[in-house]
């Protein structure tokens, strides 16, 4: 058995600050930055220095704890008001990834239950650490369940980055590949580049190479040809929000891959922790889709690639309807259709 190649934790609590792997700098530079304020945390989420739904939630939770520790008021009511403002600010950073709101709700509940400022500060740090530890364990279990769906020698396609650097550890969609490498279970991975900001090329390819996983990078428009020519056995992606009926929001381009999977008759898997489910919404039509700055598609690494003043449309996510999803892999097991009936048995 080989040893799993260590990956850096993308988010780390350092008591007086948060240490963050700057995913904007990868793959050319492995840079860790320090976040010393709630404003720093907000900016890191907004500018994609941290990305991936679980990692966003973890960072926000630590951000609340950091803001609370820095509060100097001696009046409990005022303290709670100030920390609540921190929570509201962080909640406004990105609209689609439900893990952000799930983590912040846990922090808010912890805040409101506290009977003193000192116990509130301690409890908020403890809760953020608990969220982190739970996410690491959830990702490992997702990897176990996901790997059970693959056969030795399979070729699997993935999109965006749902790996260890997007979570506490291991990842969601990439977790089976990390565990497969640890267990000498051969798999070939094909990673779509994931325009417009190239999370597949910059992050997934880098992460899997660091772990010694057999990974091949392709451009997004090569997916159909690759599935056909390389005899891809399945597609696995992460998720930013999953509705009660199984409709899944994930990085833009995911819907197209699900349609291709249907055409070629191969399974399309979604891997996500239970915290990514939003049972308050019935279907994907209610999931808010973030639209980002036009510069992400008119520039690449600061170089303009499109005419000035061209009209742009830059949604960060699309929604894959449940009928295109073979199964959803969670830490609690593998959910199969009928999703409306089965999801509540796996998600609290």
Q: Which of 127, 188, 130 is nearest to 155 (CA)?
A: 188
Q: Is 169 annotated as a binding residue?
A: no
Coil, strand or helix: which one is 125?
A: helix
- The rounded distance, in Å, linking the Cα atoms of 128 and 136 is 13
Q: Is 200 annotated as a binding residue?
A: no
81 contact partners, CB below 8 Å, separation of at least 6: none
Q: Is 210 annotated as a binding residue?
A: no
Q: Is 23 annotated as a binding residue?
A: no
> Is 240 noted as a catalytic residue in this protein?
yes
- The rounded distance, in Å, linking the Cα atoms of 96 and 252 is 12
Q: Is 53 annotated as a binding residue?
A: yes
- The rounded distance, in Å, linking the Cα atoms of 84 and 210 is 39
Q: Is 51 annotated as a binding residue?
A: yes
Q: Which of 142, 35, 144 is nearest to 90 (CA)?
A: 35
Q: Is 152 annotated as a binding residue?
A: no
Coil, strand or helix: which one is 262?
A: helix
Q: Which of 53, 52, 24, 49 is nearest to 35 (CA)?
A: 49
Pair of tokens at residue 7: 């990956």
- The rounded distance, in Å, linking the Cα atoms of 220 and 295 is 19
Answer whether 104's CB lies under 8 Å from 91's CB: yes
Backbone angles phi, psi at 321, to 5 degrees: -70, 155
DSSP state of 287: S
What size, in residues, is the chain?
348
Catalytic residue among 240, 247, 278, 318: 240
- The rounded distance, in Å, linking the Cα atoms of 244 and 63 is 29
Binding annotation: 51-53, 94, 199, 250-251
Active site positions, annotated: 240
Binding annotation for substrate: 51-53, 94, 199, 250-251
């Amino acid at each position: 058995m080989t040893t799993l190649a260590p990956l850096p934790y993308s988010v780390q609590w350092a008591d007086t600050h948060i240490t963050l792997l700057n995913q904007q700098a990868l793959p050319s530079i492995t840079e860790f930055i320090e976040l010393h304020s709630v404003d720093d945390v907000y900016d890191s989420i907004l500018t994609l220095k941290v990305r991936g739904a679980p990692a966003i939630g973890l960072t926000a939770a630590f951000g609340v704890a950091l803001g609370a520790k820095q509060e100097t008021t001696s009046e409990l009511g005022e303290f709670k008001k100030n920390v609540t403002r921190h929570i509201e600010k962080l909640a406004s950073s990105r609209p689609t990834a439900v893990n952000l709101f799930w983590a912040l709700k846990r922090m808010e509940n912890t805040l409101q239950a506290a009977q003193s400022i000192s116990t509130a500060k301690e409890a908020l740090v403890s809760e953020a650490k608990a969220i982190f530890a739970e996410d690491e364990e959830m990702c490992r279990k997702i990897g176990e369940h996901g790997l059970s769906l693959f056969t030795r020698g399979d070729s699997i396609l993935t999109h965006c980055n749902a790996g260890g650097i997007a979570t506490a550890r291991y990842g969601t969609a990439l977790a089976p590949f990390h565990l497969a490498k640890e267990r000498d279970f051969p798999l070939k991975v094909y990673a779509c580049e994931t325009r417009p900001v190239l999370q597949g090329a910059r992050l997934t390819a880098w992460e899997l190479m660091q772990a010694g996983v057999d990974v091949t990078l392709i451009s997004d428009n090569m997916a159909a040809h690759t599935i056909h020519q390389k005899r891809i056995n399945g597609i696995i992606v992460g998720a930013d929000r999953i509705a009660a009926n199984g409709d899944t929001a994930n990085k833009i381009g995911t819907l197209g891959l699900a349609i291709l999977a249907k055409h070629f008759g191969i399974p399309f898997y979604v891997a996500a922790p239970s915290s990514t489910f939003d049972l308050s919404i019935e279907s994907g039509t209610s999931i808010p889709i973030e639209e980002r700055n036009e510069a992400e598609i008119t520039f690449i690494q600061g170089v303009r690639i499109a005419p000035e003043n061209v009209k742009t449309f830059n949604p960060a996510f699309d929604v894959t309807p449940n009928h295109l999803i073979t199964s959803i892999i969670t830490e609690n097991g593998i959910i199969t259709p009928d999703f409306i009936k089965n999801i509540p048995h796996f998600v609290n």
